[in-house]
A and B are shown apart, each in its own frame.
Chain A
Amino acid sequence: MEEVWPPELAALLDRTPPAELAATTRRLLADEAITYRPPGEDEQPWALDPLPLPLAAAAWAELEAGVAQRALLLDRLLADLYGPRLTLRTGLLPVEVVLGHPGYVHGWARATPRPRELFLAGTDVVRTPDGWRVLGDRVQAPSGAGYALANRRIVSRVLAAARRGAQIRRLGPFFDAMRRGLEELAPAADRARIVLLTPGPRSETAYEQALLASRLGFPLVLASELTVRDGRVWQRAMGGAGRLEPVDVILRRVDATWCDPLDLRQDSHLGVPGLLEAARLGTVTIVNGLGSGVAENPGLLPFLPAAARALLDEPLALPGAPTWWCGEPTGRSHVLTHLADLFVKPIARGDGRRSVDGAALTAAERAELAARIEAEPHAWIGQEPQRPGTAPVVAADGSLDDRPVVLRTFAVAVDGGFRVLPGGLAEAGPVAKDVWVSGATVSAPSTPSTPSTGAEGPLSPRVAADLFWLGRYAERAESTARLLRAVADRFADFRSTPEPAGGEALDVLLRAATTVTTTPPGTPLHDLITDRDLPGSLAYAVHRLTGVARAVREQLSTDTWLVLGRLAAVLDEATSTSDISGALSRVLEGLLALAGLAAESHVRDPGWHLTDAVRRVERAQHVAALVAATLCEPGLPVADGLVQESVLIAAESLITARRRRRTGLDAVLELLITDPDNPRSIGYQADRLRQDVARVPGPDGGVLAALVAVEGRLAGLRPTELARIGPDGTRDRLRAACLGLGSDLARFAEVLEGTRFAPGAPLRPLGPVAVGGGG
């Protein structure tokens, strides 16, 4: 593209090699865990080129006006197709191009028009020597606006020096407008409840869905969190099976056909039974409308100029790539005679139909294609190939390659019209590009544009369950790291200088390391740290922690990802280093940063209290298991001293113990078990649990009784008695107390989980009625 790069950018590029910019970009993408999951593959890092696509104000203004007009046109067209259908009755649009497209949802038609059919429109355009040309419309559930936001955030940091000086339109106001636009759509005017419906954390664009939800401040929900009752949609809320909060507006990222297993695809597990019924009644606004997929139909392209004149009384501003629909005799004969010069596309994919470049086909393949078109002409179009403008991207070797650019623009319905994102998602070959539109940001933001963490609205059982496991794995990783470091230090002390006491202490600690982590006896220390497939290992806990965090990404801050990203990296280092203790310290550093974020950066909402409660249970269980595994069998006095010291280190209580200057096992046990002031003691955890439980809504269901059992057992414990050696020569009372506490705590966690977010029953089809007889 013949755009002039902002001088600041040119200057920066003169100073910095492109390969360096690309490396920084990759690192920042990894730090923030910005990912994408290609269909059928594993999640992978988002591919972003450091060089933005610059667009001059004038070129942008032309495109912006065209994109806004197009969104309005498609909205009006959809309103007609699901309402009076005048475009069909008057012959403006052939019935076949509309009803022959699978995106037309018959059940979506409604006598009373809806306020909006189209809320968020994506338009794919290229810049040709003749100007902007539309390649296609993305109006089913367009993705990419969130990635555009992420691109800007990363590129602004990579090119910070250039970004500061350049006058570039900001993206933030668009997302503020999106939020306002959604609020406008609520059937009832006061305080709208809005949710973003997601196919789930395994969706291709899960990253951006979470980003959008947290940027907009709306909860991200799975279909299983919604239900239809009394003709309207409700969100299940934590706090008992029956607790429901009404939903007014659904911004959906689930394709329409999957949205309602009752009236649409019956095999869908991504939908809400009765959603179409509620939408028909008008009690909920769903955007984009469930019928909007029909407007993605490239067969409509030849008819849009006439539609613009009829529906908007304006000429179509943004031309599409020249397209012929085969459902018309003239279009069909043009396509069939020019097969070699056209892209031939089905109006909708599926059933073995796909887009082909006619030029690339053999004569036999062309004949076969022609036969398919003849058999089902309405299902095909031919489109003139476009010559898109190119832009340089940084190649793997650091050189610059020119790649053709497709730009996806976004328009959102607000204030009675459509507002366009100043920029968009540019794709140049395999990488995305940020888009820099010159000019000052016009309007002042109406709401603060700081990204929010967590979202308003009730805590859903699904999110609660994920927070539960997040807290559990975070604490487990931290306790495990401390324990293994304490053991590793003793190992370093006595491995090469054998002495009876040291050797005995090391044996006790090594056994404890596997007992406490519930790993097989004799598992090497190295595996306990790095084996990601070994349940109980540190790597396993960290891996699970990251996985669960991804599922509740919208609840977590960007900084959390920074910490989690580093954590995985230092754990990888631990596999190769000889300084195990040092590596474990760095892992611990990351986990402490995470705990610090939880303590200092999260509002005390029910989700926080739930996570905190789980951490407390996990910590108390760990201490109980550690004491049971290490302090019940008396050994050589010197060895016992070494073990006690290691246990105090593992329980982060050594300094307190020394400061108190009380020696003896009873003092150690008091510090670890009953002391209400030691934030590492079991007693302290129990006090916190009582506070947390009071702030997590839901039916009691035995939660309080389970907590009372823990408290009751604790109250009966006397450290001096526990330290005594019993008739069998071991500290049997201590062992019984620790094991009892462990099972009381496990029971408590189980009851808490069961009452707060037990999963619902799965969805299945009602056996269909067989048609038979009569003959």
Chain B
Amino acid sequence: MNTYRITHRTTYGYDDEVGESFGRAHLLPRDRPGQTCLDAQVTVTPRPAELREHTDWFGNRATYFAVIEDHRRLSVLAESTVAVDERPPPATTPPWETVRDRLRGATDPLLLDARGYALPSPRLPVHAEVAAYARASFPAGRPVADAALDLCGRIHRDFRYASGSSTVGSTVPELLARGSGVCQDFAHLAVAGLRAMGLAARYVSGYLETTPPPGRPRAVGADASHAWASVCTGADWLDLDPTNDRLTDATYVELAHGRDYADVAPLKGVIFADAGEGVMEVAVDMIRVDRG
């Protein structure tokens, strides 16, 4: 078991007074099989007039805040301690067509919930090119986990990781055309590809522990938020990381999952302000506090 202490600080600076800021954060890790959130809190500065948490439709911990005093700096700090267990991947999974067909009309709770993730979503509408790309990984009879891993492997090989090459608004066809992107784009492509084959897939937002180069100390704030995909195997959900071409393990911490990025954006909001430029800084630290 790994236990992590995670701090995730987002700071906005403005060159003029902002009168009101309203925010929605998905920065508190949810519990799931193999992951327990030991403690977590969000701190907003200046002091928010309102700070409230609820569990959203997808089971995520959603935080609402409102700052209603004039400010030129807004800081949102999320701190959490999370224990993660190694989860051995399933030895065998059914053929992907079996899983696809089992979803149809299913009413058992896992599959009923999964059906909602087999549909196109606001950020991932149906695209013929995505289906065409995914199809190569799905020959008849291939076990669903193998097919999904194969898709991830192809995404890893076919696309270049290029930080800054994409924005949070990037679409999957843009990724296909550009050939490079970031983890969010790769996770979106994997999710959309799995759905194009009739499978249920979720977008997962979280963190991945990074190891510094040998002989170098870990740089503070060098970590980042991460994103990957999850596929329904018929009996469970299996998380895979197309950015790193691997199944997730105890070095991954999940924050939230949903249909696509829009459901789980770590932080979004609106402000009331006259013209003026803003800058944003994000610093994430994921430190192992206990080796299990």
Interface residues of A (CB under 8 A from B): 88-91, 94-96, 99-100, 102, 106-107, 109, 227-231, 261-263, 266, 273-274, 277, 280, 351, 375-376, 378, 760-775
Binds A, one of B87-95, B171-179, B270-278: B270-278
Q: Do most interface residues of chain A lie in helix, strand or loop, or is the interface mixed?
A: loop
Q: Is A765 touching B167 in the complex (CB atoms < 8 A)?
A: no
Q: Please tell me which one of the listed residues A273, A769, A772 contacts residue B164 in the complex, with CB atoms under 8 A apart.
A: A772
Q: Tell me if B210 and A774 are in contact (CB < 8 A).
A: yes
Contact stretch, chosen from B21-29, B33-41, B145-153, B231-239? B21-29
Chain A residues with Cβ below 8 Å from B164 are 772
Say which residue of A96, A229, A771 sits within 8 Å of B205 (CB atoms): A771
When chains A and B are docked, how far (Å) is the Cα of A231 from the Cα of B52? Answer: 9
Known contacts A262-B22, A280-B54; A769/B269 CB under 8 A: no
Is the Cβ of A96 less than 8 Å from the Cβ of B265? no
Select B66's contact among A100, A229, A375, A771, beta carbons within 8 Å: A229
- Residue in B closest to A91 when the chains form the complex, CB atoms: B107
Q: What separation, in Å, do the CA atoms of A775 and B207 have in the docked complex?
A: 11
CB of B182 within 8 A of CB of A95, answer no
Given A351-B125, A375-B126, A763-B270, the answer on whether A772 and B163 have CB atoms closer than 8 Å is: yes
User: Is A765 touching B269 in the complex (CB atoms < 8 A)?
Assistant: yes
Question: Across the interface, which residues of A come within 8 angstroms of B207, CB to CB?
Answer: 774
Q: Which B51-67 residues have C-beta < 8 A from chain A? A: 52, 54, 56-58, 64, 66
Contacts of B74 in A (CB 8 A): 766
Interface presence of B19 (CB below 8 A): yes
In the complex, the chain A residue whose C-beta lies closest to that of B242 is A775
Are B244 and A762 closer than 8 Å at their CB atoms?
Answer: no
B183 at the interface (CB under 8 A from A): yes
Residues A376 and B120 in contact, CB atoms below 8 Å apart = yes
Q: A96-B118, A769-B267, A771-B182 are in contact. List 8 more A-B contacts (CB 8 A).
A: A88-B112, A109-B57, A262-B270, A376-B126, A765-B268, A769-B10, A770-B168, A774-B226
Chain A: CB-nearest residue to B209: A774
Assembly CA distance A298 to B28 (angstroms): 39
15 sample A-B contacts, Cβ–Cβ < 8 Å, listed by A number:
A100-B120, A229-B49, A230-B50, A261-B270, A274-B22, A375-B128, A761-B19, A763-B270, A763-B271, A764-B271, A765-B270, A766-B23, A770-B282, A773-B182, A775-B244
* A83 shortest CB reach to chain B, Å: 12
Task: Tell which of A89, A102, A273 touches B270, judged by Cβ atoms closer than 8 Å.
Answer: A273
Q: Which residue of A lies closest to B284 (CB)?
A: A773
Q: Evaluate contact between A107 and B270: CB separation under 8 angstroms.
A: no
CB distance from B233 to the nearest CB of A (A): 19
Residues of A within 8 A of B57 (CB): 106-107, 109
Q: Across the two chains, which residue of chain A brings its CB closest to B165?
A: A772
User: Is B208's beta carbon under 8 Å from chain A?
Assistant: yes
Q: Which residue of B lies closest to A241 (CB)?
A: B19
Max chain B CB contacts within 10 Å: which of A91, A99, A378? A99
A107 to B227: give the CA distance in the assembly, Å.
22
The answer to whether A773 and B227 touch across the interface, beta carbons within 8 angstroms, is: no
| Complex CA–CA separation, A771 to B68 (angstroms) | 27
Which residues of B in the span 102-126 have a Cβ within 8 Å of any Cβ on A?
105, 107, 112, 115-116, 118-120, 122, 125-126
Q: Is the CB of A277 within 8 A of B10?
A: no
Find out whether the CB atom of A89 lies under 8 angstroms from the CB atom of B105: no
**Most chain-A Cβ atoms within 10 A of its Cβ — which of B105, B119, B122, B208?**
B119
B230 at the interface (CB under 8 A from A): no
Q: Which residues of B contact A768 (CB under 8 A)?
A: 168, 265, 267-268
Inside 8 A of A376's CB, which chain B residues have their CB? 120, 126
- A376–B164 alpha-carbon span in the complex (Å): 33
Judge whether A106 and B263 touch: CB under 8 Å: yes
| CA gap between A100 and B119 in the complex, in Å | 6
Nearest Cβ on chain A to B125's Cβ, whole angstroms: 6
The answer to whether A761 touches B274, judged by C-beta atoms less than 8 angstroms apart, is yes
Chain B residues whose CB sits within 8 angstroms of the CB of A228 once the complex forms: 22, 66
Q: Are A774 and B270 in contact (CB under 8 A)?
A: no
Name the distance in Å between A348's Cβ and chain B's nearest Cβ. Answer: 12
CB distance from A485 to the nearest CB of B (A): 44
Q: Residues of B contacting A772 with CB < 8 Å?
A: 163-164, 182-184, 224-225
Report B239 CB to chain A, min CB distance, Å.
14
| Max chain B Cβ within 10 angstroms of own Cβ: one of A107, A351, A763, A772 | A772
Note all chain B residues with C-beta closer than 8 A to A107.
Answer: 56-57
From A89, A100, A769, A774, give the contact of B265 (CB < 8 A): A769
Within 8 A of A (CB), among B184-227: 184, 205, 207-208, 210, 223-227
Q: CB of B81 within 8 A of chain A?
A: no
Residues of chain A lying within 8 A (CB to CB) of residue B115: 95-96, 99
Complex interface: chain B residues within 8 A of A771 (CB): 168, 182-184, 205, 224-227, 261, 266
> How near does chain B come to A226, taking the closest CB pair, in angstroms?
13
Contact status B119-A231, CB under 8 Å? no
Closest 8 CB pairs of A and B: A773-B224, A774-B226, A766-B269, A775-B243, A273-B22, A106-B57, A771-B184, A95-B115
A376 to B271, CA, bound (A): 37
Question: B225 near A767 (CB under 8 angstroms)?
Answer: no
Q: Are A774 and B280 in contact (CB under 8 A)?
A: no
> Nearest Cβ distance between residue A103 and chain B, in whole angstroms?
12
Chain B's nearest CB lies how many Å from the CB of A402?
43
> Quick check: B269 and A262 within 8 Å, CB to CB?
yes
Knowing A266-B270, A773-B223, A774-B243 touch, does A767 contact B183 (C-beta < 8 A)? no
User: Given A229-B49, A351-B125, A274 and B56 touching (CB < 8 A)?
Assistant: no
B263: which A residues are within 8 A, CB to CB?
106
Q: Are A767 and B278 in contact (CB under 8 A)?
A: yes
Complex contacts, A766 vs chain B, CB 8 Å: 12, 21, 23, 74, 267-271
- B119's partner among A91, A229, A378 (CB-CB below 8 A) is A378
- Closest-CB distance, B166 to chain A (whole angstroms): 8
Verify A89–B112 contact, CB threshold 8 A: yes
A770 near B167 (CB under 8 angstroms)? yes
B52 and A277 within 8 A (CB): yes
Most-contacted residue by chain B among A106, A109, A227, A774 (CB, 10 A): A774
Judged by a CB distance under 8 angstroms, whether B161 is at the interface is yes
Q: Which residues of A contact B68 (CB under 8 A)?
A: 229
Nearest CB of chain A from residue B104's CB, rounded to whole Å: 9
Given that A351-B125, A764-B273 are known contacts, is A773 also in contact with B183, CB under 8 Å in the complex? yes
Q: Quick one: closest A residue to B64, CB to CB?
A: A277
CB distance from B44 to the nearest CB of A (A): 12
Q: How far is the CB of A220 from chain B (nearest CB, A)?
A: 22
In the assembled complex, the Cα of A274 lies from the Cα of B263 at a distance in Å of 16
Please tell me which one of the listed residues B119, B163, B280 contacts residue A96 in the complex, with CB atoms under 8 A apart.
B119
Please name all residues of chain A whose beta carbon is closer than 8 Å to the beta carbon of B282 when the two chains form the complex.
769-770
B225 near A774 (CB under 8 angstroms)?
yes
Q: Which of A99, A262, A764 lies in contact with B24, CB distance below 8 A?
A: A262
When C-beta atoms are compared, the residue in chain A nearest to B264 turns out to be A771
Docked pose: A107 CA to B122 CA in angstroms: 14
> A354 → chain B, closest Cβ, in Å?
15
A774 to B20, CA, bound (A): 33
CA–CA, A522 to B265, complex, Å?
63
- Chain B positions within 8 Å of A770 at CB level: 167-168, 182, 282
- Minimum CB–CB distance from B160 to chain A (whole Å) comes to 11
Inter-subunit contact B243/A230 (CB<8 Å): no
Query: How far, in whole Å, are A770 and B66 apart by their CA atoms in the complex?
Result: 21
Most buried by A among B120, B164, B207: B120
Most buried by B among A90, A102, A766: A766
Chain A nearest CB: distance from B221 CB in Å? 11
* Complex: chain B residue closest to A268, CB-CB: B270
Minimum CB–CB distance from A749 to chain B (whole Å) comes to 23
| B243: chain A residues within 8 A (beta carbon) | 774-775
In residues 1-49 of chain B, which contact A (Cβ within 8 Å)?
10, 12, 18-24, 49
Interface pair B50/A231, CB less than 8 Å apart: yes
User: Given A266-B268, A766-B271, A770-B167, A274–B64 Cβ distance below 8 Å?
Assistant: yes
Render B74-102 as a binary contact track against A, CB cut-off 8 A, 1 for contact: 10000000000000000000000000000
Q: How far is the CB of A20 from chain B (nearest CB, A)?
A: 54
Chain B residue at smallest Cβ distance from A101? B119
